[in-house]
A = this chain, B = another copy of it.
Amino acid sequence: MPSDTSQPSFVLVRPQMGENIGAAARAMWNFGLDRMRIVAPRDGWPNPKAVAMSSGAGRLLDEAQLYDDLAGALADSTFVFATTARQRGLTKPVYSPERAMQIAAEKVAAGEKVAVLFGPERAGLENEDIAKANAIISVPVNPEYASLNLGQCVLLTAYEWMRQSGDVVHEATDLGKGDWATGVEVEKLVEHYEDRLEEAGFFYPPEKAEGMKTNLRNLWSRMRMTRADVQMLHGVMRQMVRWKDRG
């Protein structure tokens, strides 16, 4: 049984298809969540179809805690979110997944035990279930077409948990082989091209030459180059000169 309390429990309430329980386990573990609770699964437990679908995340199913009813699953929880696709006529705060997982991260950091409820595939949570929750999570889907299944709802919520609780790197560069070219390396490339293109009569007419050189320099600086890029571009120019010399 997972003992770590630094994450919310995801509670599948009366799930129907084993495949969807397995898909939920995979969705959770993709984002580092591994505390699953299962309330009254339709087809009993353990469920071979859940195991077959959970490839690589089967540990979550082995460690999942099983309950006969929702009250039991929530016995130790201090704050409960319920996911639902539609308005229920219950007076309750309604949060986006983003805001809900912000709140969850704050509460978990403060030592609270947070649970998130996901309803059965066909009908979703009953109002009786939702009345046990402190707040509702509603995914902002296309009003013309709301068709998220159980695994997808778990996936988006787990993704938002990761976004709100982790350190997402928003921008990086996959540098590939080698380092960025230094200023002097770029400058030598610029000179190489200018010299050869000058010889080749490229900067014509003379009154436009300066502008053309500026544009070319600007192009080199705009595209940030690695050392390998610079070497390749030197090679391009050398080869063109060789070709000319052969001709």
**Measuring CB to CB, which residues of chain A are less than 8 angstroms from any residue of chain B?**
26-27, 29-32, 55-57, 87-96, 98-99, 136, 139-142, 145-148, 152, 155-156, 159, 162-163, 166, 168-177, 226, 229
Which 9 A/B pairs are nearest by Cβ-Cβ distance? A99-B170, A91-B176, A96-B170, A32-B142, A89-B176, A94-B172, A30-B141, A29-B145, A140-B168
Contact, CB under 8 Å: B96 / A169: yes
Q: Do residues A55 and B147 form an inter-chain contact, with CB atoms below 8 A?
A: yes
Docked pose: A142 CA to B168 CA in angstroms = 11
Q: Could you tell me if A88 and B174 are in contact, using CB atoms closer than 8 angstroms?
A: yes
A27→B152 contact, CB < 8 A? yes
CA distance A1 to B148 in the complex (A): 25
Q: How far is the CB of A228 from chain B (nearest CB, A)?
A: 8
Judge whether A92 and B147 touch: CB under 8 Å.
Answer: no
Residues of B within 8 A of A172 (CB): 93-94
* Contacting pair A92 B174 (CB below 8 A): yes
Contacts of A30 in B (CB 8 A): 141-142, 145-148
Is B166 within 8 A of A140, CB to CB? yes
Give the chain B neighbours of A146 by CB distance below 8 A. 30
Q: List 14 A-B contacts (CB under 8 A).
A: A57-B147, A88-B176, A90-B174, A91-B175, A92-B173, A92-B174, A94-B171, A95-B171, A96-B169, A96-B170, A98-B163, A140-B168, A152-B155, A155-B155
